């Protein structure tokens, strides 16, 4: 029997998508379409984790979170609207354990679920932790988090995967087509400018944070994650 997850979301399409992926991952899933039903389901059986939307009929996500926290420390991941910083801060202050920003990719949701369950002792640690650490930079694909100078920076999954791919092979130069194949996959039919756009956005987040590493353009070829002191690093 899989671990039990309560999904609290009033959008039927999002519910169906989450349900499909969670069942595929081996979880038992219950759905509540409003805040009142969420409390009822919680009281029937305490789940191993709750995915909780904020904007809900009957009772909003804040109220549901507060009510549950009166009696339980069950892990709660909030689903928040894109760019609503206040929502995320308030959710964490009210006792949520993590948040996912809409619109989300399901692999990010799954990564955060597994990371939170591990943190709470609900899952065994995987043998291969997908975490890279450098001076003032932590790239974590287990929890899909980017820490820059100790602060969590919201980063879309594909940007994080691109940075992780480059940083896993310091000073290796990747062509745009290699990155499209290895990060986006063979089913991607866009053009190589997609890589340029993602690199530009990553630079806005991490440029000039440390003198130990940098995201470099190799003109006429592609990109590399340059690490000072590593084999092949350019001395300056």
Question: DSSP states of the chain as a string?
Answer: -PPEEEEE-S-HHHHHHHHHHHHHTT-EEEEESSHHHHHHHHHHS--SEEEEESS-SSS-HHHHHHHHHTT----EEEEEETT-HHHHHHHHHTT--EEEEES--HHHHHHHHHHHHHHTTSSPPPSS--EEEETTEEEETTTTEEEETTEE----HHHHHHHHHHHTSTT--EEHHHHIIIII-TT--S-THHHHHHHHHHHHHHTTS-SSEEEEEETTTEEEEEETTSTTPPP-
Q: In angstroms, rounded to a whole number, what is the distance separating the alpha carbons of residues 210 and 212?
A: 5
| Residue 193 scores a pLDDT above 70 | yes
Q: In angstroms, rounded to a whole number, what is the distance separating the alpha carbons of residues 40 and 19?
A: 19
Q: What is the pLDDT of residue 181?
A: 77
Q: Record the pTM.
A: 0.57
The contacts of residue 152 (CB under 8 Å, 6+ apart) are 145, 146
Q: In angstroms, rounded to a whole number, what is the distance separating the alpha carbons of residues 75 and 124?
A: 16
Q: What is the pLDDT of residue 225?
A: 96
Q: What is the pLDDT of residue 191?
A: 65
Q: In angstroms, rounded to a whole number, what is the distance separating the alpha carbons of residues 102 and 53?
A: 10
C-alpha distances in Å from residue 91, one per residue of 53, 126, 206 = 10, 28, 26
Work out the average pLDDT over 170-191: 77
pLDDT band per the 50, 70, 90 thresholds, residue 178: confident
Q: In angstroms, rounded to a whole number, what is the distance separating the alpha carbons of residues 72 and 155?
A: 31
pLDDT band per the 50, 70, 90 thresholds, residue 186: very low
Length of the chain measured in residues: 236
| Residue 153 scores a pLDDT above 70 | yes
Q: What is the pLDDT of residue 82?
A: 55
Work out the average pLDDT over 26-39: 95
Q: What is the pLDDT of residue 17?
A: 93
For residue range 194-233, list pLDDT tens digits in order: 889 999 999 999 999 999 999 999 999 999 999 986 554 4
Work out the average pLDDT over 45-60: 94
For residue range 157-172, list pLDDT tens digits in order: 888 989 999 999 999 9
Work out the average pLDDT over 2-26: 93
User: Of 98-107, 114-123, 141-150, which gets the smallest average pLDDT?
Assistant: 114-123
Q: What is the pLDDT of residue 129?
A: 55
Q: What is the pLDDT of residue 213?
A: 96
Q: Tokens at residue 227, please?
A: 């690490």
- Domains annotated for the chain, with CATH where assigned, are 4-119 (3.40.50.2300), 154-227 (1.10.10.10)
User: Of 47-61, 63-77, 187-201, 222-236, which gets the smallest average pLDDT?
Assistant: 222-236
Measured in whole angstroms, the distance separating CA 7 from the mean position of its chain's CA atoms is 17
User: To 10 degrees, the CA torsion angle through 84, 88, 94, 96?
Assistant: 140
Q: Tokens at residue 56, please?
A: 């809900």
Q: What is the pLDDT of residue 163?
A: 95
Helices 12-24, 106-119: axis angle to 10 degrees equals: 60
């Amino acid at each position: 029997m899989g671990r039990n997850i309560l999904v609290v979301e009033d959008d039927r399409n999002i519910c169906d998508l989450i349900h499909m992926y969670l069942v595929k991952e081996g979880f038992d899933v219950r759905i509540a379409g409003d805040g009142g039903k969420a409390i009822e389901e919680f009281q029937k059986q305490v789940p191993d984790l709750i995915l909780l939307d904020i904007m809900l009929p009957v009772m909003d996500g804040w109220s549901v979170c507060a009510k549950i926290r009166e009696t339980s420390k069950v892990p709660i991941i909030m689903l928040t609207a894109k760019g609503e910083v206040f929502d995320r801060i308030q959710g964490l202050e009210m006792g949520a354990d993590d948040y996912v920003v809409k619109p989300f990719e399901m692999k990010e949701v799954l990564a955060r679920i597994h990371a939170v369950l591990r943190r709470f002792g609900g899952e065994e640690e995987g043998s291969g932790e997908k975490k890279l650490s450098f001076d003032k930079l932590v790239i974590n694909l287990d929890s899909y988090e980017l820490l820059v100078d100790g602060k969590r920076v919201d980063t879309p999954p594909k940007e994080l995967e691109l940075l992780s791919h480059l940083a896993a092979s310091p000073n290796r130069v990747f062509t745009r087509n290699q990155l499209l194949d290895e990060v986006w996959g063979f089913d991607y039919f866009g053009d190589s400018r997609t890589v340029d756009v993602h690199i530009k956005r990553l630079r806005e987040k991490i440029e000039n944070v440390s003198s130990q590493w940098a995201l470099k353009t190799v003109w006429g070829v592609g990109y590399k994650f340059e690490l000072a002191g590593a084999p092949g690093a350019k001395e300056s």
